[in-house]
Amino acid sequence: MPHPLDTQDMEGVIRRSPEQFAAGLRAAEGVRLSRGPFSQVILAGMGGSWMAGALVRDAGLSKAPITIHRGYGLPERVPSDTLVLASSFSGNTEETLSAYEAARAAGLSLIGVAAGGELEKRCTSAGVPFVKILADPPTMQPRSATGYGVGILVQILARIGLATADAVSTVERLGRFLAGSMESARQQGEALAAVLTAVTPIIYASDRFAAVAHLWKIKINENAKAPAFWNVFPELNHNEMIGWSFVHGAFHVVLLRDANDHPRVQKRFDITLALLREKGIASTIVPITGTTLPEKVFSSLLVGDWASTALALAHGVDPSPVPMVEDLKKRLKD
């Protein structure tokens, strides 16, 4: 039985999330592009819809550069051999629709990715290739649909020759790996949530896991309705670390640590931990588990899903709805 506060069954969505990878691969099997080859991919999306691009890139599943565009229109001077993916879970995100129109106006190759909405209508009307996200349940939040996006993007890359040789099989295995990791991830996430209930979490990782740290922050924001911040080694040692000299408020640093990070980064972890202790800052190390880079990326995210959901329930809030975002959208229409 779901927790009484969990009205949209976020727990069930997390438990079923490993199934999304294979579903995403299947959804994009029939996509067709008449042009190419392509030198790069731009994924235009906001909120939960850009996450797949960053994760595919950071997990080393693409042979071509993937640029994440989070805004209106497109970047200036986009090369003509660029593939644009306009990605919006709802299909109604105004920034993504703006990027779609900019890509069409520039004559760029374009694919739409959505669960429906205006983006599907425009792609269908204009004959633009479109991949439909068959989300289960359809009411899930975009941030919870990352596996679909990863599977779709990897399948598209594979069909145009830009995925790494084993990318599709890697994504197929990911679902099984994460299903087997589910219970340990839940226990780890819930234990971490217990120490974060009255503090502002600060998520640190090496630069190899920048997208992971960023997504942990986002999940805490949206699921737990709480502020959180993130940064990466070694950059944080050159600026943010100085901010701990005079602390105003209650914070807890969560360090996502991989045993295979660069040796100098490992030393930076150790020294930074010591300096934080000297300043009275509490911290928790969350080991990044897995054998391959994709396993490490997605197993860490699974822990973050459970931690942020448990934190939401500890705060007495429903982890799924995002009322402030919906309020903002209503005001933008005025």
- pLDDT score of 1: 63
* Active site amino acids: 222, 238, 329
Q: What CATH number has the domain spanning 10-165?
A: 3.40.50.10490
Alpha carbon of 119 to those of 68, 87, 172, 275, 307: distances in Å? 18, 9, 28, 50, 33
Bridge partners, 114 (sequence order): 88, 132
Alpha carbon of 272 to those of 198, 201, 277, 284, 289: distances in Å? 23, 16, 9, 12, 22
pTM of the model: 0.94
CATH 3.40.50.10490 fits 181-315, yes or no: yes
Output the six-digit token pair for 223: 């699921």
CB 298 within 8 A of CB 308: no
Burial of 136 (0-12, 13-18, 19+ CB in 10 A): middle
Output the six-digit token pair for 234: 């070694």
CB 256 within 8 A of CB 286: yes
Residues of the chain within CATH 3.40.50.10490 domain(s) are 10-165, 181-315
Angle between helices 210-224 and 51-58 (to 10 degrees): 150
pLDDT digits (tens, 9 = 90+) for 92-110: 999 999 999 999 999 999 9
Backbone dihedral region of 144: left (phi > 0), alpha (psi from -120 to 50 degrees) or beta? Answer: alpha
- pLDDT score of 226: 96
Q: What is the pLDDT along the chain (334 residues), one digit of tens a residue?
A: 678 899 999 999 999 999 999 999 999 998 888 777 999 999 999 988 999 999 999 999 999 999 999 999 999 999 999 999 999 999 999 999 999 999 999 999 999 999 999 999 999 999 999 999 999 999 999 999 999 999 999 999 999 999 999 999 999 999 999 999 999 999 999 999 999 999 999 999 999 999 999 999 999 999 999 999 999 999 999 999 999 999 999 999 999 999 999 999 999 999 999 999 999 999 999 999 999 999 999 999 999 999 999 999 999 999 998 988 888 888 988 6
- pLDDT score of 2: 73
